[in-house]
Structure 1
Amino acid sequence: MPTVSVKWQKELYPNVEIDTSQSPYVFKCQLYDLTGVPPERQKIMVKGGLLKDDADWSKLGVKEGQKLMMMGTADEIVKAPEKGPIFAEDMPEEELVIHVGHSAGLFNLGNTCYMNSTVQCLHSVPELKSALIKYPRPVRSNEVDQTSHLLTVATRDLFNDLDKNVKPVAPMRFLTELRKKYPQFAQLHNGVYMQQDAEECWTQLIYTLSQSLKSPSSSEDPDAVKRLFGIDLVSRVHCPESGEESTEAESVYSLKCHISQEVNHLHEGLKHGLKSELEKASPSLGRSSLYLKDSRINDLPRYLTIQFVRFFWKRESNQKAKILRKVDYPLELDVYDFCSDDLRKRLEVPRRTPLQFSHLTIHFQTSNFKILRDEEGKKLGLKTSDKNSGSTDNDVKMAEAEASSNRSGNSSKSESVEDAPEKEKALTGIYDLVAVLTHKGRSADSGHYVAWVKQENGKWIQFDDDNPIPQREDDITRLSGGGDWHMAYICMYKARVVPM
């Protein structure tokens, strides 16, 4: 990568690296970070002509130490808002960014929306940012390989850049380290970087961070990523033919929502995803046989990641095909029904503690909670247990009245729980939706990925690469599929906690 200097107005920027494997547009994004001049306003002189966004570096003959001239007007510095009422629709774009409380967007560096959407979702996890701030800790050379270390440092620095800026950020270093660590993200087609699968990017990045941020010597948080995202499963593996049965344990970083003609809601897809068939050798039969695997959650994370299995390999066309079926998902998710008996026992005490919901405050173990949950299920088209519950419209009204009377008394207590040390919090099995990564198009390796992220102030933002757009909460659950519009591919939920 040749190093050049760039002269702009009275400023001289030395030692600017040019990645000749990237388009000149990426170089302009780098200069935008330095000068504040947007790429579309930049005029850079190279070999007596203007540098075009899609020019071929090999034909330009840029040499080491060469001085380039740039012309263009920088964005104006955002002025402090005047006193008095200001309406969001009247604000300049950058002031609106500050008003709604979200971070900067990310430039698309050539089919990198899969990466940008993944970064924006994970950047919304404050506990992950805290763990990254403490990195790098003293490590032995054999604990973390160099490529993992560099990708983790690049993640930390990119998160920091997003927090400090309101203008879009060019994730050049992060992209470079991601491709070094995982060369599949550097695949080319006709000289152009290919679109990649966002779920694969998410999985690989989480795995890398789990290795880098692991600290067996740390009593504070020896395994930060597992605590934040890890899901422990316990599975019953049964062979119907031989009667053999065994128990298996494993840790994963996401649950799968399998989609079929019978699946209309996330709950149903998760139920299918926790059951599977596998073929393996049977000791008693002396040959391979079919085994049924039935899994249950045995330990829950702070953030629950769910992948909608929308893509499958189509042999006829030799490519990934997409399932467009609409699958509804809730803003509030209760995973109690998917938990093992052991975990359910551990959740009993926390679920007896009053908990503040976004729309109601209830006591989990009262029959009223079951009534309200059944009512929510009816709205989503799920089967409920009305025959056994004996609930009536009057029962529901009484439950809602109880929730309303408790709301004001529990809100301050619930808010203080979030600020308490992690050791003083207990999970309940209830999760709130905080991020959705969507895909628009017919193939995982094409189309467009976008992140929809809930901010700490409760507002939702659509991060479409370098263009953050405020959204209403009602619009988020409409990303459930059924057409060619953006549809949920990955959902991330945050656990509701109560004081221990």
Structure 2
Amino acid sequence: MSTTITLKWNKSTFDNVEIGDLKTGLDFKKKCQELTGVHPDRQKIMGLGAGILKDNQELSAVKVKAGQLVRMMGSADELPEPPKEKTVFIEDTAKENGDGEVQYYPAGLENLGNTCYMNSALESFRYVPELREAIEHFDGSSVSELLEKDKEIASELKSLYKRLDTANDSISPITFLEAFRKAYPQFAEKERTELGEFYSQQDSDEFITNLLGSLENMLKTSDRNVVNLITCYLYCFYRLQCTECEEAPTVTKEAWKKLSCFISQQVSNLPYGLQKSLDGTLEKESPTLGKTAVYTKTQRISKLPNYLVVNFVRFFWKQKQQVKAKVLRDVAFPSVLDTFELCTDEYKNKLKETREKMRLDREEEMKKKKEEQLNNLGQQAKKQKTEETDKTPLYQVNDSGWFELCAVVTHKGRAANEGHYVAWVKNDAGQWLQFNDDDVTAVTEEEVKKLSGGGDWHTAYLCLYRKARKLNL
């Protein structure tokens, strides 16, 4: 497929229009809008495929000759301003569930060409209230010129989340994407194929790391760094002990942004994988022996964060094929993650009091439920009771070591530089939603648990856990 065409609109002609990185008819219409000012809803395109070009037409299936003439009809008149009060149409914002009830879903993000890695990450952090509050109060008035690119990212993210909160339909994250690529040019890399030049698929984990780095620079306050509180800064003791001599061990303290679960044939669940990832052996130069020696590595958490990011290390480099391949092994992850055994003895002692209180609260809750059932009041109480979400900021909640799952980013495919990312997110009401770019649907917790891997289906790549307020085992 040629990468350029000639576009004819009224008396205007646009030569050498690049279409190699466009995937659908709607993408092409947006390109025409940039050139002519004609909104896609007003366009009729002829000359790409049979008949009038449809929005969902796959351009890769259309045979195009170099310089082929494509005609567009449509008026460049401005579309009417939207009403100040949003008019909501059920057809646009709701779907019916199996019981015939109307279900309303939030807006999603359009895929701008291999940008699912970004969309899934942004949706995962969209329901972190502490982050949203910090971004909403961000104005950037005192930001230095050295951090101008980080300022643009924070400002565009603030605008993007506001648009998502009020939109009835999916929106384009183009201005945020441009700001992010400006700050991190590696995310603007392209690859050339026989169909033309396309933006490369990127790693969602790397995107999150860079995004949080920019937000960390922007969202600092006088008394605390908001990103440190809301995301994944945990502190660990790192101990190295030589196995070949009585050399004194070295102990250092490190700050991590995430926990990594390395996957082997022995790892079938996340808690065990994390434990194995913290311990192990390595080779390094021994100052005592004057040669390379084997050391045992022991790492333990000395301070837990409020939000914990866990990365399943699924990608590895295949030297022979020269490709970054994927580990498909099934690794189960829990709805409630207990990190107690990953902590130092000193930190465990600090966690015990809160853990015991949460256990007692859980026992009391179960006792009350049992009494309601015995008195046949369970169903009636369920109808009458409306639970209020605890709005207490997580940094005011005591550490227990227990974390509850609130988002999963999955990857579908067998290589890192291809495939598709999707976000599975628990919203403020406790409902699980699947954000597949612009397609948003409700899912059950059981469906989320099936994302553990083992085949070509969606496989958990990142999990976002938040500090548990109560015990829900």
Give the TM-score of the pair, scaled to structure 2.
0.76
Please tell me whether the aligned partners of residues 238 and 300 of structure 2 are also in contact (alpha carbons under 8 angstroms): yes
The 5-angstrom pairing of residues 396-415 of structure 1 reads: 404=370
Is structure 2 residue 262 aligned with structure 1 residue 258?
yes
What do residues 201-251 of structure 1 show as CA deviations (whole Å, max 9, x unaligned)? 111111221222123xx12xx211111121111121112123330111111
Is structure 2 residue 97 aligned with structure 1 residue 95?
no
Q: CA deviation at 1:80?
A: 6.4
- 1:436–1:140 CA distance, 2 compared to 1 (3 A): closer
Letter in 2 for 1:427: D
In structure 2, how many angstroms separate the alpha carbons of the residues matched to 1:177 and 1:80?
A: 31
Unaligned runs of 5+ in 2: 1-16, 382-386
Partner residue of 1:495 out of 447, 464, 467: 467
Letter in 2 for 1:261: Q
Is structure 2 residue 157 aligned with structure 1 residue 155?
yes
Equivalent position of 1:390 in the other structure: none
- 1:71–1:182 CA distance, 2 compared to 1 (3 A): same
- 1:59–1:169 CA distance, 2 compared to 1 (3 A): farther
Is structure 2 residue 117 aligned with structure 1 residue 114?
yes
Corresponding residue SS for 1:262: coil
Partner residue of 1:69 out of 75, 83, 95: 75
In structure 1, how many angstroms separate the alpha carbons of the residues matched to 2:128 and 2:371?
A: 32
Give the TM-score of the pair, scaled to structure 1.
0.72
Is structure 2 residue 439 aligned with structure 1 residue 438?
no
In structure 1, how many angstroms separate the alpha carbons of the residues matched to 2:172 and 2:300?
A: 42
Equivalent position of 1:128 in the other structure: 131
In structure 2, how many angstroms separate the alpha carbons of the residues matched to 1:141 and 1:20?
A: 39
Equivalent position of 1:290 in the other structure: 294
Is structure 2 residue 220 aligned with structure 1 residue 193?
no
Please tell me whether the aligned partners of residues 301 and 343 of structure 2 are also in contact (alpha carbons under 8 angstroms): yes
In structure 2, how many angstroms separate the alpha carbons of the residues matched to 1:175 and 1:455?
A: 24
Letter in 1 for 2:320: E
- 1:171–1:28 CA distance, 2 compared to 1 (3 A): farther
Please tell me whether the aligned partners of residues 92 and 169 of structure 2 are also in contact (alpha carbons under 8 angstroms): no
Corresponding residue SS for 1:479: helix
Equivalent position of 1:384 in the other structure: none
- 1:469–1:333 CA distance, 2 compared to 1 (3 A): same
Please tell me whether the aligned partners of residues 362 and 403 of structure 1 are also in contact (alpha carbons under 8 angstroms): no
- 1:252–1:25 CA distance, 2 compared to 1 (3 A): farther
Letter in 1 for 2:250: S
In structure 2, how many angstroms separate the alpha carbons of the residues matched to 1:175 and 1:154?
A: 9
- 1:268–1:203 CA distance, 2 compared to 1 (3 A): same
Is structure 2 residue 445 aligned with structure 1 residue 473?
yes
Identity among equivalent positions (%) equals 34
- 1:224–1:79 CA distance, 2 compared to 1 (3 A): closer
In structure 1, how many angstroms separate the alpha carbons of the residues matched to 2:352 and 2:169?
A: 47
CA RMSD after TM alignment? 4.2
Equivalent position of 1:43 in the other structure: 43
Equivalent position of 1:371 in the other structure: none
Q: CA deviation at 1:487?
A: 0.8
- 1:403–1:328 CA distance, 2 compared to 1 (3 A): farther
In structure 1, how many angstroms separate the alpha carbons of the residues matched to 2:268 and 2:229?
A: 31
Please tell me whether the aligned partners of residues 321 and 443 of structure 1 are also in contact (alpha carbons under 8 angstroms): yes
Equivalent position of 1:213 in the other structure: 219
In structure 1, how many angstroms separate the alpha carbons of the residues matched to 2:390 and 2:79?
A: 44
Q: CA deviation at 1:172?
A: 0.3
What do residues 450-474 of structure 1 show as CA deviations (whole Å, max 9, x unaligned)? 0011111111111111100111111
- 1:38–1:197 CA distance, 2 compared to 1 (3 A): farther
Please tell me whether the aligned partners of residues 44 and 71 of structure 1 are also in contact (alpha carbons under 8 angstroms): no
Letter in 2 for 1:495: K
Q: CA deviation at 1:292?
A: 2.4
Unaligned runs of 5+ in 1: 1-17, 62-66, 82-90, 364-398, 410-414
Aligned residues: 416
Equivalent position of 2:167 in the other structure: 165
In structure 2, how many angstroms separate the alpha carbons of the residues matched to 1:293 and 1:146?
A: 40
